Structure 1
Amino acid sequence: MFDLDGTLVDTAPDLLRCLNSALVQHGFAEASPIAVKPFISFGSRAMIKASLTTPVDKHTEEALLATMLDCYENHIADHSVFFAGIEDTLDKIETQGLKWGVVTNKRQRFTNPLMAALKLTDRAACIVSGDTTAFEKPHPEPMLAACRQAGVEPRHCVYVGDASHDIAAGKNANMKTLAARYGYLKPGDLPETWGADAVIESPLQITDWIGAHLCR
């Protein structure tokens, strides 16, 4: 099972474009991608806060959020691409007769169209969004809901994510976990301290790890 943004798909180009469009429309300067990109895994509000040099009132924040998300909904996959090696990884997983799926804190409003645009909907054994259950990661319920959809036991799963809450969610559900160092890490993030079963530098390491640790 994969986290979506920053693990399976590089969604930064579309998210950052829509964030900057919203900032400009509301009278703010465009944000530096370097400053904002590490916060993508923590949601749109975190991206907005990281983009501003000073805090704004709740009304302004909500207006920025609405404008950004409306833009994103209409440009869900204009420039988003798979991380290098992901397509080969998914092909290898399927060739081995294994299932794969997605568990993300992204809302269904965006998850489902993105998966469809990338032609992944029918391939995924499970798709669980941030509002599919009453809880988000790091709570285990989204992970367990994904297992129910896919018809698998948590102990037979490995969850791949690029944030500490991803690894915590997998561990809370009794899954194996892989921390993706290639994702949207924040300055100071140390994936090796998150308690994952392994840290990977590339998606191409995933199937090798699965073969060595889950398919013996």
Structure 2
Amino acid sequence: MNTANDAATDAAMSDKVARFPRLVLFDLDGTLLDSAPDMLATVNRMRAARGQGPMPLGELRPHVSRGSRAMSAAAFPELGGDVSPDMIREFLAIYEEELGRNSVLFDGVAALLEAIEADGARWGIITNKPEYLAKQIMPQLAWESRCAILLGGDTLAQRKPHPLPLLHAAEALGESISDCVYVGDDQRDIDAARAAGMRSVVALWGYRGGDEQPQAWGGDAMAATVPAMLEDGFWQALR
């Protein structure tokens, strides 16, 4: 027969397990990692090679989540968006050298990931960054054994905003879509989650442009900061 103490323990365990979804999937750049300084170093090396002065971080930041083509186009507006494959290859080669030199976790990320793990839940990363670059970041952050799954933009046949990476992650880890949530700072993240039938959280601290309206993206919740996702009731409101 269960004692009162046993019942209290069971209730506490039930509350603990229910705190987070069984699988929390994250975008990387602009959501977990502030990689904009590495990106800035990359484009400024490219600009210096062409005799141009440095670009301010504030001008590049809104383009970081959109990838190497968008950042190159922003760094060289005189091209009118006509970024060649050679320039993309140049960007990626330089970025690989700058990878992790100046990037930092957003405030609260370490505590959030620890709380997810302590709850018995798992977390993973689905990014549009090329997989070989995303994998190089994992040991720098000591995440290689903690991240349950890592999918890059070229891991599968489709990338965000297509739902395939999110669906694949849930299936590969044996989780139902209803037990998963995706967190991202770009509309393509929220679009991918919706298409997958997965709940989503809009990360408002990311790399949005000033003209974007995240309230219109249709996310299931919005978080102004990472620590907001550790507040009592945040995840329960998504159920």
TM-score (norm 2): 0.84
Please say if 1:198 is aligned against 2:221: yes
Q: Is 1:5–1:41's contact at 8 Å kept on the other side of the alignment?
A: yes
Residue aligning to 1:210: 235
Q: Residues 35-50 of structure 1: matches in 2 within 5 Å?
A: 35-50=59-74
Residue by residue over 1:93-118, the C-alpha shift from the partner in whole angstroms, topping out at 9 and shown as x without a partner, is 00000010000000012100012211
Deviation, structure 1 residue 2: 0.3
For these two proteins, the number of residue pairs brought into alignment is 213
Aligned-residue identity in percent: 35
Deviation, structure 1 residue 150: 2.2
Q: Is 2:33–2:106's contact at 8 Å kept on the other side of the alignment?
A: yes
Residue by residue over 1:60-110, the C-alpha shift from the partner in whole angstroms, topping out at 9 and shown as x without a partner, is 733432222112112211111110000000000000000100000000121
Name the Cα RMSD after superposition.
Answer: 1.7
In 1, distance between residues paired with 2:113 and 2:80? 42
Given the superposition, is the C-alpha separation of residues 8 and 128 from structure 1 closer, same or farther in structure 2, using an over 3 Å criterion?
Answer: same
Give secondary structure in 2 for the equivalent of 1:41. helix
Residue aligning to 1:51: 75
Please say if 1:29 is aligned against 2:53: yes
Structure 2: gaps spanning 5 or more residues: 1-24
Residue by residue over 1:188-216, the C-alpha shift from the partner in whole angstroms, topping out at 9 and shown as x without a partner, is 111111000111111112244224434xx
Please say if 1:75 is aligned against 2:98: yes
Residue aligning to 2:28: 4
Structure 1: gaps spanning 5 or more residues: none
Work out which of the residue numbers 163, 171, 174 in structure 2 matches 1:151.
174
Rg: which structure is higher? 2
Residue aligning to 2:110: 87
Deviation, structure 1 residue 18: 1.0
Q: Residues 165-180 of structure 1: matches in 2 within 5 Å?
A: 165-180=188-203
In 2, distance between residues paired with 1:46 and 1:27? 21
